[in-house]
A and B are shown apart, each in its own frame.
Chain A
Amino acid sequence: MVAIRVSQLTKQFNGLVAVDNISFDIQEGEIFGLLGPNGAGKTTILSMLATILESTAGEAVVNGISIAANPDAVRKSIGIVFQDQSLDEELTAFENMDFHGRLYRIPKAVRRERISTLLELVGLADRKDDFVKTFSGGMRRRLEIARGLLHEPKVLFLDEPTLGLDPQTRNHLWEYIERLNKEKRITIILTTHYMDEADKLCGRVAIIDKGKIIAMDTPQNLKNQIGGDVVTITSTKIAALADAISGSWIKTKEQHDGFLTIHLENAETHIATIVTAAEKQNIPIAAISIHKPTLESVFLHFTGRTIREEDASNKDHMRMRARLWRGK
């Protein structure tokens, strides 16, 4: 079953093309990532699918409902966690949830029950009556995710879910998101500019640059596309070592000063062969390491540029700082 079908979706702001004729399908139960640098158009895509922003051209169907024809029905069927915090800090966790439940017209008894189940799920059950202003950044994020799930959406939209969070909190959040996806069978579409996040969390990733999809596949396939793994062996006898190692699995061998690099697929399955071959010839190995390609190198491969933290725009930095400042 297709959860989201996007066909030739385009958005222009005063003649500037933010999203350029993109098409993709998301299957039910997937965790789908929109990966790209800031300003690539990820949030714009998400906003159009969530019917917060009108598209300039093209169509999209969310849960079988057209975003153009019936935005209200689309909104009812999705949950959203925005990039910026959208909680009322003067209310308690429970009250924030309850407010949301009332807006979505969930009957009181059902509302109560779901709120306690969801707060349990995100580990905030014991903080239910505490004011949100006393919460840390990670707790706020978890509360927002729980709130987004209150009206039982089939699709959850997460816009930069871990922006500005510390590594440990990010790991926890990833676990929650994975659990939601598995246990509740919720389709998740998220935007991120963190490579590791897309790699670890997403079943499939669309790499977005300048409003276009430049590559779309599973993280593994994307990485395989750009030429597999690299094994680096440090030794005193490079030339002899290069001769000793041979096989059809080797793509290229390169001799450097003091070390040898071998390009190959599935490096870990060939380490034993390499070591055995070297031992047979009595060639000492000082060190051996495997480099797996990352989504970072995939992005580099397709665009000739890297996505780095330094690319984060000023606005983003301010946002992060504001979040940290509020969160602590």
Chain B
Amino acid sequence: MDIIATIWLRSMKRYIRSKSRIIGSLGMPVFFLVLLGFGLNAVVNIPGTEANYVGFLVPGIVAMSVLFTSVFSGIQIIWDKQFGFLKETLVAPVSRLEIMLGQTLGGATTAFIQGLLILVFSLIIGLTIVSAGGFLIAFGFMILIGIAFTSFGIAIASRMEDMHGFQLIMNFIIFPVFGLSGALFPIDTLPVWLRSLTLADPLTYGVEGIRYGLTGTSQLDPLLSFGVLTAFTVAMIGAGAHLFRKVQI
């Protein structure tokens, strides 16, 4: 446990010190929220909810922020590989699983904080709080997304030699995962083929879970969302731990 805490602590120190990265990675979500939210607010009506489009969009953008930060945190292991720091960790008499879990919790915490910042921002621009309990539900889903996708990033990073493949991952995995998740549009009214794609996207359950917490209504049963996302998280931790164990130095 103290080893996991040590590695987590290092991630936190690095995160808090990289102010430009904190601000930088807030840019895109804020941009999406403000432009799409206020741009489409007047013309979009979400059937079945009383929320306006901005209110509908906030959970999606929070999930987006958590998703991007967590994948990026996981993939950062490549930097450690390239700059040699990973060697220092791997030759220490500690298990790979402890290292991997420490990295995962570190990444998930960072991602959670980034999501929280978006949430605070949306309170400033006028989101209303439904209930305190709902907030806690949303937090739970944010943490699950963070853990799942940091593990995913670690799994990817364990197989990559350098950052060259990073754009590939962003364009062909992360953006589709975000785009298909129902972060930007309601999934009930989609054509059947697209709806099945969104239901195959694990992030959909995260977005719906956060939406249930923040707005009180969602199109998927929150228990279903919680079950699917938890299963996905466990699977990703397994995959990350397995691939990380095979990393050669």
Seen from chain A, the residues whose Cβ lies within 8 Å of a Cβ on chain B are: 50, 52, 72-73, 75-76, 80, 82, 84-91, 95, 99-100, 102-105, 147
A103 touching B94 by the CB < 8 A rule?
A: yes
15 more CB-based (< 8 A) A-B contacts, given A52-B91, A87-B88, A103-B92: A75-B93, A80-B91, A82-B88, A86-B88, A87-B84, A88-B10, A90-B13, A90-B18, A95-B10, A99-B10, A100-B88, A102-B3, A103-B3, A104-B92, A104-B93
B87 touching A86 by the CB < 8 A rule?
A: yes
Contact flags (1/0) for B175-215 with A, using CB distance below 8 Å? Answer: 00000000000000000000000000000000000000000
* Chain B residues positioned under 8 Å from A73 (CB to CB): 93
The distance from the CB of A134 to the nearest CB of chain B, in whole angstroms, is 13
Q: How many A-B residue pairs have CB under 8 A?
A: 57
B93 touching A72 by the CB < 8 A rule?
A: yes
B84 touching A86 by the CB < 8 A rule?
A: yes
* Chain A residues positioned under 8 Å from B249 (CB to CB): 52
* Chain B residues positioned under 8 Å from A99 (CB to CB): 6, 10
**A89 touching B92 in the complex, CB below 8 Å, given contacts A99-B6, A99-B10, A103-B3:** no
B6 touching A88 by the CB < 8 A rule?
A: no
B87 touching A89 by the CB < 8 A rule?
A: no
Would you list which residues of chain B between 1 and 53 have a CB under 8 Å from chain A?
Answer: 2-3, 6, 10, 13-14, 17-18
Partner of A87, one of B3, B14, B17, B85: B85
The answer for the CA separation of A104 and B10 in the assembled complex, in Å, is 15
* Chain A residues positioned under 8 Å from B172 (CB to CB): none
Interface centre among A80, A85, A99, A147 (most CB of B within 10 A): A99
Contact flags (1/0) for B54-66 with A, using CB distance below 8 Å? Answer: 0000000000000
B83 touching A95 by the CB < 8 A rule?
A: no
Partner of A86, one of B10, B14, B85, B93: B85
For B, the interface residue count at a CB cutoff of 8 angstroms equals 19
A-B contacts, 27 of them at CB < 8 A, read A50-B91, A75-B92, A75-B93, A80-B91, A82-B84, A84-B84, A84-B87, A85-B84, A86-B88, A88-B10, A88-B14, A88-B85, A89-B83, A90-B14, A90-B18, A91-B10, A95-B10, A95-B13, A100-B92, A102-B2, A103-B89, A103-B92, A103-B93, A104-B92, A104-B93, A105-B3, A147-B88
For B17, the closest partner residue in chain A by CB is A90
Would you list which residues of chain B between 81 and 108 have a CB under 8 Å from chain A?
Answer: 83-85, 87-89, 91-94
* Chain A residues positioned under 8 Å from B88 (CB to CB): 82, 86-87, 100, 147
The answer for the CA separation of A86 and B88 in the assembled complex, in Å, is 6
The answer for the CA separation of A147 and B249 in the assembled complex, in Å, is 19
The answer for the CA separation of A205 and B235 in the assembled complex, in Å, is 52
Chain A, interface SS category: loop
**A103 touching B83 in the complex, CB below 8 Å, given contacts A52-B91, A76-B93:** no
* Chain A residues positioned under 8 Å from B6 (CB to CB): 99, 102-103
A75 touching B2 by the CB < 8 A rule?
A: no
* Chain B residues positioned under 8 Å from A89 (CB to CB): 83
Interface centre among B10, B13, B18, B93 (most CB of A within 10 A): B93
The distance from the CB of B7 to the nearest CB of chain A, in whole angstroms, is 8
For B92, the closest partner residue in chain A by CB is A103
For B5, the closest partner residue in chain A by CB is A102
The answer for the CA separation of A90 and B80 in the assembled complex, in Å, is 11
The answer for the CA separation of A249 and B85 in the assembled complex, in Å, is 56
* Chain A residues positioned under 8 Å from B87 (CB to CB): 82, 84, 86
The answer for the CA separation of A52 and B10 in the assembled complex, in Å, is 23
The distance from the CB of A155 to the nearest CB of chain B, in whole angstroms, is 14
* Chain A residues positioned under 8 Å from B17 (CB to CB): 90
For B86, the closest partner residue in chain A by CB is A86
For A98, the closest partner residue in chain B by CB is B6
The answer for the CA separation of A102 and B10 in the assembled complex, in Å, is 11
The answer for the CA separation of A89 and B80 in the assembled complex, in Å, is 10
The answer for the CA separation of A88 and B88 in the assembled complex, in Å, is 9
* Chain A residues positioned under 8 Å from B93 (CB to CB): 72-73, 75-76, 103-104
A105 touching B2 by the CB < 8 A rule?
A: yes
* Chain B residues positioned under 8 Å from A82 (CB to CB): 84, 87-88
The answer for the CA separation of A82 and B84 in the assembled complex, in Å, is 9
* Chain A residues positioned under 8 Å from B89 (CB to CB): 103
The distance from the CB of B249 to the nearest CB of chain A, in whole angstroms, is 6
For A88, the closest partner residue in chain B by CB is B85
The distance from the CB of A95 to the nearest CB of chain B, in whole angstroms, is 7
What 8 A-B pairs are tightest by C-beta distance, nearest first? Answer: A103-B92, A86-B84, A102-B6, A86-B88, A84-B84, A76-B93, A86-B87, A75-B93
